[in-house]
Amino acid sequence: MKHPPIHYSDYLGLEKLLSAQNPRSAQYGKLVHDEMLFITVHQAYELWFKQILFELDSVIKVFSEPSVDDREIALAVSHLQRIVEIQKLIIGQIDILETMTPMDFLEFRDFLFPASGFQSHQWRLLETKLGLKLQHRQHFNDEAFFKVLKPEHQQQIQQAMQSPSLFDLVEAWLERTPFLKMAGFDFWQTYKNAVLEYLQVEQSFVEKNSRLSPTEKEKTLQQLQMGRDTFQKFFEKKEYEAMQAQGQFRISAAALHAALFIQIYRSEPALQLPFQLISRLLDIDEKMTEWRYRHALMVQRMLGKKIGTGGSSGYDYLKSATEKHKVFSDLFSLSTFLIPRSRIPELPEEVRKKMHYQYGS
C-alpha cells in the first residue's frame, strides 16, 4: 500500500513476454503449427537459464568474500539446491519438445538458418561461470565458440572468463579449511597411514584366503596392487602434479584433501553444510551432463544424420561435449580415494570440539 498498485499483467511484463513468440514460418509463408512449440520450449529454457544464472551469481558472491560467513553457507546451499530443481524441470522439457516430429521440424527448419542453440549466450555464460575453461571446451568447426555470439554477449562471456568462476572460488575456499592441520593433527599424513594399513590388511587376507582359487587370488592381488598404485599417485605431491600437468586433475591438491576431509567427517556440525554444498555441486554437474546428453539424443532423432542449422555435425559435437564439459569431475573422482568407515582415523577430541557449536560447551 506504500507503493502504487500494480496489476498482475504489468508486474509480469506479460505484454512484452507474450508478444515475443513470432514464428518465422508465419512471416515468410504459412504458419507451421509446431514452430510455436519450438519457440516456447526454447524461450522457457532461456527464462530458466536466466534464473539459474541469477542463483549462481548469488552463490559466487558468497564465495567471493575473503572469508565466507558461516551464516551464508546455508543460503548458498539452498540456492544451489534450487538450481538442481530447475535443472530437473528443464530436462523434462525435452520430452515435450519430442512431441514434435522430425517431419514437423523439417517444415520450418529452413526459416531458422543459421540460428542454433550454439548461439545461446546464457548457456555459454553458465558453463563459464561454473568454471569451464576455454582450453577444456570441445572444439567446434575450428572456431572459438564465442565467434557465433553477438558482440554484447561476447563481452559478457569475456568478462566472466576473466573473473573467478565458482570452481575457482570453491577451490580457494576448500584450501582455507581450517581443521586439516590443527593442534598437532595432520589429516593427510594420518589418512595416508590408514590407507596403507588398510591395503596391507586386505592383502594378507587375500593371501591367506583358502576359498580363492590361485587364479582368483592372483587377479584379486592385481586389483589390490592397482588400488595401491592409484593411492600412491594421489599421496605423492610430485605424482599428483604430474597428473595435473597431464590434465587428469584440475583441482589443487590442498582443495582435494579438504573435500575428502569434509566427505569423511561430514557429520561434525561445522562440516554438515559444506558437505551439502559439495553434494549439490556434483548434482549440478551431473544434471548439466544429463541435459547435454538428452539434447544430443533429441537432435539425432530430429535430424538423423543431417547437418544442424548452425552448420555443425550436431550430434557428434554434442556427444563429445557431453563429458568434456564437466566442471567438477575431480570431485566425482573423490570416491576413488575412500576407504571403509571402520578404517577411518578418529579425529582428536580437540579438533572435533572446534567443529561444534558454542552453546553446548
Region 155-214 residues binding a copy of itself, contact defined as CB under 8 A:
178-179, 205-206, 209, 211-212
| Least distance from a copy of itself to the Cβ atom of residue 304, Å | 3
CA 227 to each of CA 205, 215, 337, 338: distance values in angstroms, whole numbers, following the listed order: 15, 18, 9, 11
- Please name the residue that has the C-alpha cell 581443521: 179
40: contact with a copy of itself by CB under 8 A? yes
63: contact with a copy of itself by CB under 8 A? no
Q: What does the longest C-alpha to C-alpha distance in the chain come to?
A: 84
| Least distance from a copy of itself to the Cβ atom of residue 210, Å | 12
Contacts of a copy of itself in 131-150 (CB under 8 A): 150
Selected range binding a copy of itself among 126-134, 157-165, 236-244, 300-308, rule: CB under 8 A: 300-308
Contacts of a copy of itself in 102-131 (CB under 8 A): 102-103, 106-107, 110-122
CB 354 within 8 A of CB 212: no
- Please name the residue that has the C-alpha cell 588398510: 198
CB 235 within 8 A of CB 199: no
Contacts of a copy of itself in 246-285 (CB under 8 A): 263-264, 266-270, 272-273, 275-276, 279, 282-283
Q: Which is nearer to a copy of itself, 33 or 181 (CB)?
A: 33
What span, in angstroms and rounded, lies between the C-alpha atoms of 159 and 124?
12
| Least distance from a copy of itself to the Cβ atom of residue 73, Å | 8
**Which residues does residue 185 pair with via DSSP β-bridges, in sequence order?**
182
11: contact with a copy of itself by CB under 8 A? yes
Distance of alpha carbon 355 from the chain centroid: 28
Contacts of a copy of itself in 226-245 (CB under 8 A): 226-227, 230
Burial class (CB in 10 A: 0-12, 13-18, 19+), 59: buried
